[in-house]
Amino acid sequence: MYNKQSTETERFSFVPHSTNPYSFCFENTVSSHHHKEINFNLYQSIASSYKNLEKEGKEKTPLEIDNILLLGECTIGLSEKFEEIKELVKYLKIRETVHRNTTESTNARVLLWSTFQLIILLIASFVQIWVIKRRFEKKHFV
């Protein structure tokens, strides 16, 4: 039904044509050496329930039905946009967490490397001082 290779992020929408159950399969055949994480969101629209209002509202005038349908469509549109915004914020939080973890890991490695360089510098300094002192010592031979 849908196949995508070598992607970091992807959005996909599907409109089913029947009420049968659907199943999802995620497969990673490209690389098995690295940890993979899959996040996905599943939405079900309620737009079809407003379409049935026209069939059920026989006692209402066509103008009332049109107004109710228009209000329902606007509500559905706002609801869908709100859900999109909520999911975008959730996605951005996950992305921020991943980047923060990467930054903290990099900072830890930089700190470790800097500490190693500092230790080497101190050892080299003490060795130079020791060599210079030995060179200028007076040796007494009796």
Dump pLDDT digits (tens) for 63-119.
Answer: 676 777 777 788 888 888 898 899 899 999 999 999 999 999 999 999 999 999 999
State which amino acid sits at residue 65.
I
Is residue 89 in a domain?
A: yes
Is residue 63 in a domain?
A: yes
92: phi then psi, degrees, rounded to nearest 5: -65, -35
pTM for the predicted model, two decimal places: 0.47
Is residue 66 in a domain?
A: yes
Distance CA 88, CA 98 (A): 15
Domains in the chain: how many in total? 1
Mark out the alpha helices in 10-61 (DSSP H runs).
47-51, 53-56
> Which residues form the domain of 115?
47-129
Distance CA 10, CA 25 (A): 15
In eight-state DSSP terms, residue 33 is: S
